[in-house]
Chain A
Amino acid sequence: MYSIVERRMIVPNMHEFIVRAPVVAESVKPGNFIMLRPDPTGERIPLSVADWDREAGTVTSIFMQVGGTTAKLARLKPGDTIPTYVGPLGKETVIDKFGTVLCVGGCYGIGSIYPIARALKEAGNRVVVLLEARSSFLLYWEDKLARVANDLFVITRDGTKGRKGHIDKIPELMGAAGIVPDRVIVNGCTFQMMRVSEVTKPLGWKTIVNMNPIMIDGTGMCGVCRLSVGGKTKFACVDGPDFDGHEIDWAEFLARRKGYSPEEVDPLRHSSCRSRF
């Protein structure tokens, strides 16, 4: 059993989630993920790591409530326990001295890009952070990110903060600031990772994306997380989750993520009926 240290909604629908798991905290690295089960009848789902405290033995994730499992998580209180919390899984993000690195975060990826940006900074890079959200009230952790970034940019769809528009404004935004990144790293929703890969490809900016397919075991045993990268089938949980965004078959990936959409509606209804509020 793993006890919940903190579970708090930080912006609408987005939760900061801190769990006591000393062995995971001991060796976790930027870009890793964990798998958890919210209760004994629950599904196993992956969440990226967004921070950790090795001394206290805790690991932090940011999750968005989207379906049945995340709805169960959203009801947890400090002191509650969950039966499964395993990790750190997946290959860590490659950290090196690249020069200038553009770290793009959106959705839950604003959280998971944070330790990546921090490590890149420690490795001596110029770290440019770009956050994207629908509106300013959906942004979080700007202060934390500002502390590890040389430059921090924001794009909101409604223009309530930073540049107004979509993520495909990246080249324009970087051009205006005179920044040519040696590498782009994107954490966030699938659509965002795909769009960034599309706009950086013609510019020749190497782009690493942290893929988020459906997973069950997270150890390479079931193959549900497979995707095509450079024409080869890879298992995201063991070969990734980081891949070169320019090599991914995005159409196939988007279709595979919807593989269980009809069924996912049912437990959502089921779980919200059972809830007591």
Chain B
Amino acid sequence: MAEEKPEKKKLDLQRRPMPKQNHWERVKNFDEVALGYPVAAAVEEASRCIKCKKPLCNQGCPVGIDIPGFIKCIVEGDFGSGIRKIKKTNALPAICGRVCPQEEQCEKTCILGNKQAPVAIGRLERFLADWEAAEGKIEVPDMAPKTGKKVAVIGAGPAGITVANDLIILGHEVTIFEALHECGGVLIYGIPEFRLPKAIVNREVNYVRSLGVKIYTDFVVGKTRTVNRLLEEFDAVFVGSGAGLPWFMEIPGENLNGVYSANEYLTRVNLMKGFRFPEYDTPVKRPSRVAVVGGGNVAMDSARTAVRLGADEVHLVYRRSKAELPARVEEVENAEEEGVIFDLLNLPVRLIGDENGWIKEIECLRMELGAPDESGRRKPVPIQGSNYRVSFDAIVMAIGNGPNPLIQMTTPGLDINKKGGLATDPATGRTSRPNIWAGGDIVRGAATVISAMGDGRIAAASIHRYLMNREGEAPVT
């Protein structure tokens, strides 16, 4: 399948479309929606890259992948070298290629974006990762000689997995402690199967395990053992415990039956496989009229999950307008195709229950857009007296998550940042305690997979410097 050297040609402005499951079929299953490029489409798409002398795409990637480099490999049909290039800086390409908000990152800065359609960098990254998995020979990187230093990683989300991957390669002994019975963090309990198949997450977790990382699941740090207790055994600790604390709106009626946090709803379906009930024991409701409150990826995932669980009508209730929806454009399109109804410029003010304590109606206020607020987005303001009620059998609250306070509550001496998470030095990921680092959502609040990985990379480098100089004065990294 090796292609000839690309000759000089006109700009190809047509982005190769992503093959997808038809929307009328996919609403009935939990299988992946985007099917991935076949080889020919990948090579064609890669050939659109004009190999900029000073590529801007790289700067948009938080982990600095050599994007033109791997794209060139695809053009040349040398997929093995391509995936190796990516893996130099990104341990989880099959995942990032699927869930990165590329339009905000690498693809935003691609020069072809000025002429409408940037190179589909994420899809090409996914293509190489899937190709490698299908080939079945995952390459193991060169491992540094053992240093004898021990590092504990708290949480097996993208941040923790990245730190573990980097440090084991550098020769340290790494142990991950994960609270749940499966690894992957949000990738396993939050993001649904139809967007990120769990087999892929498991494959990546098994890969770091194969490098020698020890993983203890069912281990809640702060409860099972404290961080201080871990430090009796380990030379350094990295905290990647995520933003797993669901927010509610604090409006009347939120504790009615039938009102779920998105975390509960998605965990029942994804982690506990409630969609395969009763083959799996964990039940999940299959109501016919569902309202999802929120407008981010979490809200889209919840709404599309409700569609697949057989709801007749799924509404997304969002207080701003479509332009402000924080979810990825692709996922908004998918949700629309699947029949999710967008109730924009609506603010829930009250939930009303029946005599048995079950949700019956939602009361909303209509909103209009006022002057821009500090985020630069036009601020939604309620239209007085516009209250109205609609009936629903279930409400999913997807208005956001905050950092889980368990670690800071049980670890003395950790400074807290404005978001309620752990305060760190952004250059090193170090917390206010010299042998504890942190990164990902526990620092940033709910953010992205790739930013969690970027934090992990920075922290791993700093931990490595610290461990290697330990004999002398503890360096200020």
Instruction: Give chain A's interface residues, CB within 8 Å of chain B.
Output: 23-24, 26-27, 37, 41-44, 68-69, 83-89, 216-217, 219-224, 226-228, 233, 238, 249, 251-252, 255-256, 258-260, 263-264, 266-267, 270-271
B267 and A217 contact, CB distance less than 8 A: yes
- Listed A/B pairs (16) with beta-carbon separation below 8 Å: A23-B219, A23-B224, A24-B224, A43-B272, A43-B281, A84-B218, A87-B220, A216-B264, A221-B404, A224-B264, A233-B254, A252-B255, A256-B257, A260-B283, A266-B278, A267-B283
B218 and A219 contact, CB distance less than 8 A: no
Collect the chain A residues with CB atoms within 8 Å of residue B255's CB. 226-228, 233, 249, 252, 256
B244-252, B309-317, B465-473: which one contacts chain A? B244-252
A-contacting residues, B402-449, CB 8 Å: 404-406
Collect the chain B residues with CB atoms within 8 Å of residue A256's CB. 255, 257, 357
B244 and A220 contact, CB distance less than 8 A: yes
Collect the chain B residues with CB atoms within 8 Å of residue A222's CB. 246, 261, 263-264, 267
Collect the chain B residues with CB atoms within 8 Å of residue A221's CB. 189, 244-246, 263, 267, 404
Chain A residue, CB-CB nearest to B226: A27
Cα A252 to Cα B280 with chains together (Å):
28
Instruction: Give chain B's interface residues, CB within 8 Å of chain A.
Output: 179-181, 189, 217-220, 223-225, 244-246, 248, 250, 254-258, 260-261, 263-264, 267-268, 272-273, 277-283, 285, 356-358, 404-406
Chain A residue, CB-CB nearest to B286: A263
Cα A86 to Cα B219 with chains together (Å):
6
Chain B residue, CB-CB nearest to A67: B281
A41 and B279 contact, CB distance less than 8 A: yes
What 6 additional pairs, Cβ within 8 angstroms, besides A41-B281, A220-B244, A251-B357? A69-B281, A86-B220, A222-B264, A223-B246, A224-B261, A263-B277
A88 and B224 contact, CB distance less than 8 A: yes
Collect the chain B residues with CB atoms within 8 Å of residue A255's CB. 256-257, 356-358
Collect the chain B residues with CB atoms within 8 Å of residue A84's CB. 181, 217-218
Contact A233-B267, Cβ < 8 Å, known A87-B224, A252-B357, A256-B257: no
Number of A-B contacts (CB under 8 A): 120
Contact A23-B223, Cβ < 8 Å, known A227-B255, A233-B255, A264-B283: no
A42 and B224 contact, CB distance less than 8 A: no
Chain B residue, CB-CB nearest to A68: B281
Cα A221 to Cα B244 with chains together (Å):
5
A258 and B257 contact, CB distance less than 8 A: yes
A223 and B264 contact, CB distance less than 8 A: yes
Chain A residue, CB-CB nearest to B241: A219
Cα A27 to Cα B39 with chains together (Å):
55
B281 and A27 contact, CB distance less than 8 A: no
A42 and B281 contact, CB distance less than 8 A: yes
Q: Chain B nearest CB: distance from A48 CB in Å?
A: 15
Collect the chain A residues with CB atoms within 8 Å of residue B181's CB. 37, 44, 83-84, 86
Cα A47 to Cα B100 with chains together (Å):
39
Collect the chain B residues with CB atoms within 8 Å of residue A26's CB. 225
Collect the chain B residues with CB atoms within 8 Å of residue A43's CB. 272, 281-282
Chain B residue, CB-CB nearest to A256: B257
Chain A residue, CB-CB nearest to B276: A41
Collect the chain B residues with CB atoms within 8 Å of residue A223's CB. 246, 248, 260-261, 263-264
Cα A44 to Cα B180 with chains together (Å):
10
Cα A263 to Cα B217 with chains together (Å):
28
Collect the chain B residues with CB atoms within 8 Å of residue A44's CB. 181, 272, 282
Collect the chain B residues with CB atoms within 8 Å of residue A252's CB. 255, 357
B224 and A86 contact, CB distance less than 8 A: yes
Collect the chain A residues with CB atoms within 8 Å of residue B257's CB. 255-256, 258-259
Q: Chain B nearest CB: distance from A203 CB in Å?
A: 28
Cα A203 to Cα B81 with chains together (Å):
77
Cα A86 to Cα B267 with chains together (Å):
17
Q: Chain B nearest CB: distance from A18 CB in Å?
A: 17
Q: Chain A nearest CB: distance from B272 CB in Å?
A: 7
In the complex, which of the residues B189, B255, B404 has the most CB atoms of chain A within 10 Å of its own CB atom?
B255
A263 and B283 contact, CB distance less than 8 A: yes
Collect the chain A residues with CB atoms within 8 Å of residue B218's CB. 84-86
In the complex, which of the residues A37, A222, A238, A258 has the most CB atoms of chain B within 10 Å of its own CB atom?
A222
Partner of A23, one of B180, B225, B260, B277: B225
Chain A residue, CB-CB nearest to B273: A41
B244 and A219 contact, CB distance less than 8 A: yes
Contact A216-B272, Cβ < 8 Å, known A86-B219, A227-B255: yes
Contact A27-B225, Cβ < 8 Å, known A238-B406, A255-B357, A266-B278: yes
Shortest 6 CB-CB contacts between residues of A and residues of B: A255-B357, A263-B283, A86-B218, A221-B244, A223-B261, A222-B264
Cα A259 to Cα B263 with chains together (Å):
17
Q: Chain B nearest CB: distance from A54 CB in Å?
A: 14
Q: Chain B nearest CB: distance from A46 CB in Å?
A: 13
Chain B residue, CB-CB nearest to A34: B218
Cα A85 to Cα B358 with chains together (Å):
32
Collect the chain A residues with CB atoms within 8 Å of residue B263's CB. 221-223
Collect the chain A residues with CB atoms within 8 Å of residue B356's CB. 255
Collect the chain B residues with CB atoms within 8 Å of residue A69's CB. 281
Collect the chain B residues with CB atoms within 8 Å of residue A227's CB. 255
